[in-house]
Structure 1
Amino acid sequence: MPFRSKRRPTTTPTAPDPSTTNDNSTEMGTRFYTENSTGSIPDSCFWVHDFQLGASMVVVQPSSGKVLLVNNTERRTWFLPRGRKDIGETLEQCALREAYEETGYRVDFLPLYLPSRAPAPPSRPDARRELMVSEPIFITSHDFGPYRHGNRVDRGGQYMIFYYAGQIPADAVREELTGMPDEEHYVGTLLELDDALSLLSRLEAHIMKIAYSHWQNTVEIEQERLSGESDRHPRSRRRARAGDSNSERRVSNVE
């Protein structure tokens, strides 16, 4: 397996502060969207040398309700699997590869009901709220560098990470030696949600908590719909249709 540098960016984006974000607040020209996001950033343009793209995953084991973290046993740190996109690789491929390399588990995407702004497919133009999607849940952006290479200074750039939801089955088995040479101390570990939140950085705990709540919401919606489809009584079908409307509102409200 070829060596790829896993050097991390030198700064970390901050998690949103709910006390300063609401639909109408502004501060020094900054607009705030939902309480799940930090404020707006200036319109920007980055040349190819001045940015990097990466991907990360929030991984759930639906059968147990546990979540998957990376434990760096050498540094005693815990984090979500993540890394930089390779040349010719899609962000989705990057997310799955990094999850496998850093945790040792083979991960699949976890479709969720999300209030995504991505358009619905042409075949179902009115179904944006009714489709489970595997779109990124979050994007973070922060500076990296500068670095010195001998007499040359690399000014660094902007690192943008796309976060996806993933899942592993009940019988998932962790494989050994799946990562890069500098990842030999990485161990994928399944934890209860509260334990995971206490170990993650504030930003990653925020991302984990929101993603997990959308997974729980998705499970509830699917259970209601399956219950409605299995009951053939007309009055029950009317209740099921009303439940679909309530489910749509929940998808919006979990923002």
Structure 2
Amino acid sequence: MGTRVLYMASTENTKSDAPPTPTKLSFFEDSLEQKMAQPNVSYNIPRESSLICSNAFITGAGAVMFHRKSKRVVLVIDDREGQRPLGWFLPKGRKDIGESFEQAAVREGEEEGGYPCRLLPVPVPTRQPKKVADGNVLSTEPIYMHNWAIPTKRLWQDGGMYTCFWYVCEITDEDVERVELEKQQKKEMMNKAQMNMAEANSTAGKVFIDYHELRYRSELFEYEEAKRLIDESIDSTVFGCVLQTAIELVQKLDEMENKA
């Protein structure tokens, strides 16, 4: 797994190549915030400000989706033959115009992850101010912000920047049962279509979804298996950081609720 990073850059070493000094976050008296704050030069927060025009950046959101009762998490894979080397990944995507990042995370969770979900308040370390000092450590703030450069392409002649905010979400028992049933029905439907597509399409007025709309397949995995699969993916460093931290935050939430 890649080193998880959540720290502020020191202003004293702006001219140095050394990684910035981590600033400890105010959180629980355990090791989670220290783990998230380990310096890693490949994930340095930029030390200089940037002004990027609206047509040179993309913003989006991703969801780490938990079924807490079974202690499982959703991973997605692209089943197209040429895309299999990418491996398993976490659902994410661009934010629509007028949509909040939170709304985008929930929508992308359902569109790519295949399950309806909702934001889950967890004890995430955050520097966002609270309106009321009520002592509540739970929030639905993003657990990571990931920035990466968009390479120069035909539609992006000068390249650009993509920023994705990652959120922790949960799936209800009812939605898990309903989606698993729908998946089985879809599998049976597609098997029938492959045997006789023309006949199947004319039966009961059914219209089958285009194959490319079915390219993503999602499954629920136990935590350790999910981490193993992500560790084998092409982008294991980023997804590994996000998944590991999300799991630890949910486990911390479980511990807090058990003590209550």
TM-score, with structure 2 as normaliser: 0.69
Indicate yes or no: 2:157 matched with 1:154: yes
RMSD over aligned Cα atoms:
2.9
221 and 199 in structure 1: CA distance in 2 versus 1, 3 angstrom threshold: same
Q: Hey, what's the Cα distance between the residues in 2 that align with 1:118 and 1:48? A: 24
Indicate yes or no: 2:225 matched with 1:220: no
Counterparts in 2 of 1:121-132, with a 5 A limit? 121=131, 124-125=132-133, 127=135, 130-132=136-138
> What amino acid does structure 1 have at the position aligned with 2:150?
F
Q: Hey, what's the Cα distance between the residues in 2 that align with 1:182 and 1:137? A: 31
30 and 50 in structure 1: CA distance in 2 versus 1, 3 angstrom threshold: farther
Q: Hey, what's the Cα distance between the residues in 2 that align with 1:216 and 1:96? A: 21
Q: Hey, what's the Cα distance between the residues in 2 that align with 1:105 and 1:217? A: 24
The answer (yes or no) to whether the contact 1:32–1:40 under 8 Å persists in 2 is no
The answer (yes or no) to whether the contact 2:78–2:215 under 8 Å persists in 1 is yes
**Tell me, which stretches of 5 or more residues in structure 2 are unaligned?**
23-36, 187-208, 231-235
Report the alpha carbon displacement of residue 222 of structure 1 after superposing the two structures with TM. 2.1
Report the alpha carbon displacement of residue 183 of structure 1 after superposing the two structures with TM. 4.1
**Counterpart for residue 83 of structure 1:** 93
Q: Hey, what's the Cα distance between the residues in 1 that align with 2:93 and 2:162? A: 10
183 and 15 in structure 1: CA distance in 2 versus 1, 3 angstrom threshold: farther
Report the alpha carbon displacement of residue 219 of structure 1 after superposing the two structures with TM. 1.3
Q: Hey, what's the Cα distance between the residues in 1 that align with 2:258 and 2:18? A: 44
**Tell me, which stretches of 5 or more residues in structure 1 are unaligned?**
1-13, 226-255
**Counterpart for residue 140 of structure 1:** 146
Which of the residues 111, 120, 123 maps onto 1:113?
123
Indicate yes or no: 2:188 matched with 1:185: no
**Counterpart for residue 35 of structure 1:** 38
Aligned length: 202
Q: Hey, what's the Cα distance between the residues in 2 that align with 1:198 and 1:184? A: 25
Which of the residues 43, 53, 56 maps onto 2:59?
53
Report the alpha carbon displacement of residue 221 of structure 1 after superposing the two structures with TM. 1.4
> What amino acid does structure 1 have at the position aligned with 2:62?
S
Q: Hey, what's the Cα distance between the residues in 1 that align with 2:163 and 2:249? A: 23
Q: Hey, what's the Cα distance between the residues in 1 that align with 2:242 and 2:124? A: 14
- Bigger share in strand: 1
Report the alpha carbon displacement of residue 111 of structure 1 after superposing the two structures with TM. 0.7
The answer (yes or no) to whether the contact 1:54–1:91 under 8 Å persists in 2 is yes
32 and 188 in structure 1: CA distance in 2 versus 1, 3 angstrom threshold: farther
Report the alpha carbon displacement of residue 95 of structure 1 after superposing the two structures with TM. 0.7
Q: Hey, what's the Cα distance between the residues in 2 that align with 1:190 and 1:168? A: 11
> What amino acid does structure 1 have at the position aligned with 2:244?
K
TM-score, with structure 1 as normaliser: 0.70
Q: Hey, what's the Cα distance between the residues in 1 that align with 2:224 and 2:239? A: 13
Structure 1 residues 156-181: Cα deviation after superposition (integer angstroms, max 9, x where no partner): 2000000000011223232569x997
Indicate yes or no: 2:109 matched with 1:99: yes
- Bigger share in helix: 2
SS across alignment from 2:139: coil
Query: For structure 1, which segment, 25-34 or 65-74, has the greater mean C-alpha deviation from structure 2 after superposition?
Result: 25-34
The answer (yes or no) to whether the contact 1:145–1:156 under 8 Å persists in 2 is yes
Report the alpha carbon displacement of residue 17 of structure 1 after superposing the two structures with TM. 7.4
> What amino acid does structure 2 have at the position aligned with 1:169?
T
> What amino acid does structure 1 have at the position aligned with 2:17?
M
Structure 1 residues 212-242: Cα deviation after superposition (integer angstroms, max 9, x where no partner): 10111111112212xxxxxxxxxxxxxxxxx
